[in-house]
Amino acid sequence: MVEHDLLEVCAIEQMSDLSAWGWDAYHKEMESGGDTIMLVARTDLAFHQNEIAGFIVARIIADEVHVNNVAVRPDFRGQRLGSTLLRRALEQGRLKGANVARLEVRAGNQAAQRLYERCGFEVDGRRKNYYREPTEDALLMSSRLTSAIR
Ligand SMILES: CC(C)(COP(=O)(O)OP(=O)(O)OC[C@H]1O[C@@H](n2cnc3c(N)ncnc32)[C@H](O)[C@@H]1OP(=O)(O)O)[C@@H](O)C(=O)NCCC(=O)NCCS
């Protein structure tokens, strides 16, 4: 992900019911140094003109990868883009020395939970009323990053 991508990233964020970071927050994250992992998936179909189909934002804190946001444009969901973005981000984290990945997810977000489970995450906690608008519990999920991620 580069600065030029951020308008498209924010548009996908808005289509995806995520807690909105917005342009400034993504830009700040991008400028913040080497411990951030920000990737986009691009369409390669001629009629889509190489648009961004999805993105992931994660950060390495000590020996952990924290996955903050992952989203795929609604018309490109179900084609493994989410899984590919997540696996690439985890692999980058592992290569930079992280040995565990963590994230929070809305308890009602089944699609995201399936994605995370497919990529090796397990639920290991719950935070009551963690999210707002609407109020909802967060499930805490983690995955050990012990060997090359495929
Ligand atoms: C979660 C999200 C990123 C998944 O992206 P994707 O590219 O469709 O995911 P994949 O194609 O890699 O699918 C991964 C798994 O998720 C499951 N999945 C995808 N969409 C689903 C849906 N609507 N309902 C249930 N499961 C779903 C898939 O079935 C797949 O598992 P399976 O095929 O083994 O059953 C996408 O749905 C999205 O952008 N959602 C809105 C944003 C969001 O909730 N982000 C996560 C919180 S930050």
Instruction: Decide: 69 in ligand 1 pocket, CB within 6 A.
Output: yes
| Percent of all residues in the chain with a pLDDT value above 90, rounded to a whole number | 86
Average pLDDT over residues 131-140: 94
Burial class (CB in 10 A: 0-12, 13-18, 19+), 3: exposed
Kindly report, residue by residue over 1-48, the tens digit of the pLDDT: 999 999 999 999 999 988 789 999 999 999 998 799 999 999 876 666
Instruction: Decide: 109 in ligand 1 pocket, CB within 6 A.
Output: yes
Q: Is 71 within the bounds of a domain?
A: yes
Q: Is 120 within the bounds of a domain?
A: yes
Q: Which domain holds residue 47?
A: 3-144
CA 82 – ligand 1 centroid, Å? 6
Q: Is 150 within the bounds of a domain?
A: no
Q: Any idea what the CATH number is for the domain that residue 72 is in?
A: 3.40.630.30
Q: Is 75 within the bounds of a domain?
A: yes
| Total count of domains within the chain | 1
For the packed helices 110-118 and 81-95, what is the interaxial angle rounded to 10 degrees? 50
Q: Is 7 within the bounds of a domain?
A: yes
Q: Is 133 within the bounds of a domain?
A: yes
